[in-house]
C-alpha cells in the first residue's frame, strides 16, 4: 500500500485525561472504504499508551475518541474468539494478545510507530475487515466434524489418553486465519486449502473415534491440498495458540504416503 499517510491527530478538549505514566504512540492504520473515493491509504493517530495496555485497547481508543468510522473485528478480547487478527508491523497477530510492554522502547526518549493492516490473501471489505468466506469455504470442505457409522452410542465414545494426545495440538485452533493468511502460497493462489483447513482436517484424521480419515485424505490429496505447502514455517510462527502447524501438515502428507 503506497498511498500517503494522513495524520488525523488533533488537539481536542473532549478527550479523556491522559493517565499518569502513559506515553504517546503513533498508530499508522491502513484504511479503505468502498463508499468513498479516497482509495487505500494510511491514517495516523496519536494514542496514549500504558505498558499494561494491549494493542486492542489502543484500537478501541481510536474508534471511541478519534475516528468512529474505523472498522475492525473484535469480540472476547482474550485470545479465544480469534476475531481480531491483523498484520502488526508486518506480522500476523491477534490485537488482544499484543502487549504494549513488549513493544514500548526501553528508552523513553524514543518514539514508537505501530503499523496495522488487514491480514493478506482475503478481499478487504473495509479498513481492517476482510471477507472470511473463502477461508471458511476451505474449512468446511475438509469436513471438520466427527464421521462415524452405526447407531448413536448410549454413552460417550471411549478414547484412551494416548489416542487423545495424538491430535491434541490441533484441537487448539480458533480459526483466526493468522496461519493461512501468513502463507505465501495462499497469497499467490487463493484456491489453496491453506494451513488452518489442513490443521482442522488433521484433528479428525488422527482421532481414533473417527471413520472419515480416508475421505478427508482424498480431499487433501488434491493439487490445491497439502502438496502445495512449501514448509516456510510462516504459519507456525503466526499461530497465536502455539500450534505446530507445519508439523501437522507434514503428518497429513505422511498419512497420504504411508496410510494412517
Q: pTM for this structure? A: 0.90
Q: Are 79 and 94 in contact (CB under 8 A)?
A: yes
What is the structure's pLDDT at 148?
95
Residues in the chain where the model's pLDDT stays below 50: none
**Beta strand 113-117 pairing with 23-31:** parallel
Q: How many helices (H) and strands (E) does the chain have?
A: 8, 8
d(CA 180, CA 183): 5
What is the structure's pLDDT at 108?
79
d(CA 12, CA 66): 9
CA dihedral 67, 70, 75, 77 (to 10 degrees): -60
Sign of CA dihedral 126, 37, 190, 137: positive
d(CA 178, CA 93): 7
> In terms of residues, how long is the chain?
260
What is the structure's pLDDT at 7?
61
What is the structure's pLDDT at 3?
57
Q: Are 227 and 201 in contact (CB under 8 A)?
A: no
What is the structure's pLDDT at 217?
97
What is the structure's pLDDT at 189?
80
Amino acid at each position: 500500500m503506497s498511498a500517503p499517510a494522513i495524520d488525523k491527530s488533533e488537539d481536542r478538549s473532549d478527550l479523556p485525561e491522559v493517565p499518569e505514566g502513559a506515553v504517546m504512540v503513533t498508530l499508522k492504520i491502513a484504511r479503505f472504504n468502498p463508499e468513498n473515493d479516497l482509495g487505500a491509504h494510511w491514517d495516523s493517530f496519536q494514542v496514549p499508551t500504558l505498558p499494561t495496555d494491549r494493542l486492542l485497547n489502543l484500537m478501541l481508543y481510536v474508534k471511541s475518541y478519534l475516528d468512529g468510522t474505523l472498522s475492525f473485528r473484535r469480540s472476547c478480547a482474550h485470545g479465544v474468539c480469534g476475531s481480531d487478527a491483523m498484520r502488526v508491523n508486518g506480522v500476523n497477530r491477534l490485537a488482544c494478545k499484543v502487549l504494549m510492554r513488549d513493544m514500548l522502547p526501553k528508552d523513553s526518549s524514543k518514539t514508537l510507530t505501530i503499523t496495522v493492516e488487514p491480514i493478506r490473501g482475503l478481499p478487504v471489505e473495509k479498513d481492517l475487515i476482510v471477507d472470511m468466506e473463502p477461508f471458511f469455504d476451505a474449512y468446511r470442505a475438509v469436513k471438520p466434524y466427527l464421521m462415524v457409522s452405526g447407531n448413536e452410542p448410549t454413552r460417550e465414545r471411549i478414547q484412551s489418553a494416548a489416542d487423545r494426545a495424538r491430535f491434541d495440538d490441533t484441537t487448539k485452533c480458533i480459526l483466526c486465519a493468522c496461519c493461512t493468511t501468513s502463507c505465501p502460497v495462499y497469497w499467490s493462489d487463493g484456491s489453496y486449502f491453506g494451513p488452518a483447513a489442513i490443521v482442522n482436517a488433521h484433528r479428525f484424521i488422527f482421532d481414533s473415534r473417527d471413520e472419515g480419515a480416508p475421505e478427508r485424505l482424498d480431499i487433501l490429496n488434491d493439487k490445491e491440498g497439502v502438496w502445495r505447502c512449501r514448509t516456510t514455517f510462516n504459519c507456525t510462527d503466526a499461530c497465536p495458540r502455539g500450534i505446530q502447524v507445519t508439523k501437522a501438515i507434514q503428518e497429513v502428507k505422511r498419512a497420504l504416503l504411508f496410510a494412517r
